[in-house]
Amino acid sequence: MCQIILWSCFEIVELNTSTQKLAEDLIHRVSGDLHEYFVREMRMVNYAARQAELFRLVQIAEYIVRDKKQLIAANQIFKFIEHDFSFATSL
């Protein structure tokens, strides 16, 4: 799932065509691997609900990271929190 998200680069318009094609190919291959995992390893014929739950968790994590980035940026401007966020500057 993380690889699918990692290689989803449709919003990066600066990528050249060969990189976009590579990303699409990798997403296709990883999606097939994920299907095989659910069907063969997990023995789940209908895994859509499980997959939807995993995507929901990813969206929640993305929201938390985005929220923390905004908090750090606002604190750098307004200094409303005395705590040092140096551990989170790589977000």
At which residue do the structure tokens 């980035």 appear?
Answer: 69
Domain count of the fold of the chain = 2
Residues 29 and 2 in one domain: yes
Residues whose CB is less than 8 angstroms from the CB of residue 26 and which lie 6 or more positions away in sequence, other chains included:
3, 7
Model confidence over 74-85: pLDDT tens digits?
888 988 877 655
Residues whose CB is less than 8 angstroms from the CB of residue 8 and which lie 6 or more positions away in sequence, other chains included:
23, 27
Residues 1 and 40 in one domain: yes
Taking the model in full, what pTM does it have?
A: 0.57
Residues 24 and 35 in one domain: yes
DSSP conformational letter for 41: I
11-15, 31-35, 41-45, range with the lowest pLDDT: 11-15
Q: How far apart are CA 45 and CA 22, in angstroms?
A: 29
Over range 45-55, report the average pLDDT. 88
Range of the domain at 75: 47-91
